[in-house]
Amino acid sequence: MDGKTHTAQVKPYSNTSIEEDKVKVYDTGNVKPYNVDWLIFIQTKTNKILIFKNNPISDKNVYVFNISSLLYEIE
């Protein structure tokens, strides 16, 4: 993209919630840190895709991101 190669980890998810400019992504399988540029989440029932910069506020039990980390939302 724009002459730069980005790396990504693709994971499933079931739903999200937004609270105080924070996005929580639920049921993503293994929640752990990844050494990639982007975290990409795909809702398998609807094929909705969320692409975040890999800078979660939390990666313990559930991923939590600042809303500003959401790069793309594809439906």
pLDDT of residue 59: 87
State the burial class of residue 29 (Cβ atoms within 10 Å of its Cβ: 0-12, 13-18, 19+).
exposed
List the beta bridge partners of residue 35. none
Q: Among 74, 53, 58, which Cα is nearest to 26's?
A: 58
The average pLDDT across 51-73 equals 95
pLDDT of residue 24: 97
> Parallel, antiparallel, or unpaired: how do β-strands 22-26 and 62-66 relate?
antiparallel
pLDDT over threshold 90, residue 8: yes
pLDDT over threshold 90, residue 2: no
Enter the pTM of the model: 0.92
Q: Tell me what the pLDDT averaged over the chain comes to.
A: 95
